[in-house]
Amino acid sequence: MTVAEIVTKASNVGIVVPAFNIPYLPMMSATVQALRDTNSFGLIMVARLEWVKFEAHSIEAVAAEFRRVGDPQHTRLHLDHVPAIDEDNLRVDYVADITRALAAGYESVMVDGSRLSLAENIAATRQIVGLAHARGVLVEGELGAVMGHESGPLPPYEELFASGKGFTDPQEAARFVRETGVDWLSVAVGSIHGAISAAARTQKKVEARLNIEHLEKLRLATGVPLVLHGGTGIRKEYVMQAIRHGIAKINIATATRQPYERLVSESVARAQQAVYDAAVRVIREDLEAEGTVRLLK
């Protein structure tokens, strides 16, 4: 099956595809093994900040490692956040990065125009959809503000959640999907990204909640599989409800990155084991996604 068929079927039957970020290349083999041993399907992915600010090295290096250790029965390769404007408010040549990923064999890509105006985000995403669909590659867009990667401290979480600041607007989402032709949409309904600054990246994430009523409005408005970024640290009851209300893909980064970083200076093998253990726990306990290969056939 193609990754398009897999994620669409997950959305239709009410299960979720976990997507694991790889900020350090040795994490990949452990993550793939976790998917294999739980008979689950998940995506392996890299975001721009992970080759700029961590040690994923490059789009091509991640693709090469995936060709070495990937297992097409259990996983495919996805390009995560390539922003039009990055977390430091700098313009990014996102077309060049995504073009490189298309050449390297990624089966799905994400363009993040969420820091642009709505019209600019639509135009940027539509451009990438044209490039990617010509190669048979899926596109994920983002609308709304999933915070956490910005420089400086976040406002108090409860203040953010209560205000709905940055939440994806359903009417805008309907227009966005209609005018871009995007395949998947990342939405903001209460989750936050893990901090990436050197000072904060080891800290425990805030326990987030999700506005399920708002998510259901987005599901009805868009008609495409929805994506939840910042998947680590969300209360489980909200995650399970979100899966029933349109979330077909959940991004996981902090849950596997932090165990790796804690142990890698002692032993790469011990760090890889920690990644494996964390990924298995996420699949089995946090997402209840064990055995999904069987369900997605």
Q: Identify the pLDDT of residue 198.
A: 54
User: What's the pLDDT tens digit per position in 103-134?
Assistant: 999 999 999 999 999 999 999 999 999 999 99
| Calpha distance 253→257 (Å, rounded) | 6
Neighbours of 151 (CB within 10 A): 9
**Quick one: pLDDT band at residue 75, thresholds 50, 70, 90?**
very high
| Residue 80: active-site member | yes
User: What's the pLDDT tens digit per position in 260-270?
Assistant: 999 999 999 99
Type of residue at 250: I
**Quick one: pLDDT band at residue 280, thresholds 50, 70, 90?**
very high
User: What's the pLDDT tens digit per position in 163-198?
Assistant: 777 899 999 999 999 999 999 999 999 877 665 445
**Quick one: pLDDT band at residue 296, thresholds 50, 70, 90?**
confident
- Whether 230 contacts 174, CB under 8 Å: no
Q: Identify the pLDDT of residue 297.
A: 80
User: What's the pLDDT tens digit per position in 28-65?
Assistant: 999 999 999 999 999 999 999 999 999 999 999 999 99
Instruction: Tell me, yes or no, if the pTM score tops 0.85.
Output: yes
Per CATH, the homologous superfamily of domain 3-295 is Aldolase class I (3.20.20.70)
Q: Identify the pLDDT of residue 149.
A: 61
| Calpha distance 53→217 (Å, rounded) | 36
Q: Which one of 37, 80, 88, 277 is the catalytic residue? A: 80
Rounded mean pLDDT, 140-147 = 87
Question: How far, in Å, are 83, 87, 222, 271 from residue 152 at the CA level?
Answer: 19, 10, 33, 29
Question: Does the structure show a pLDDT above 60 at 200?
Answer: no
Q: Among 13-27, 173-187, 200-214, whose mean pLDDT is lowest?
A: 200-214
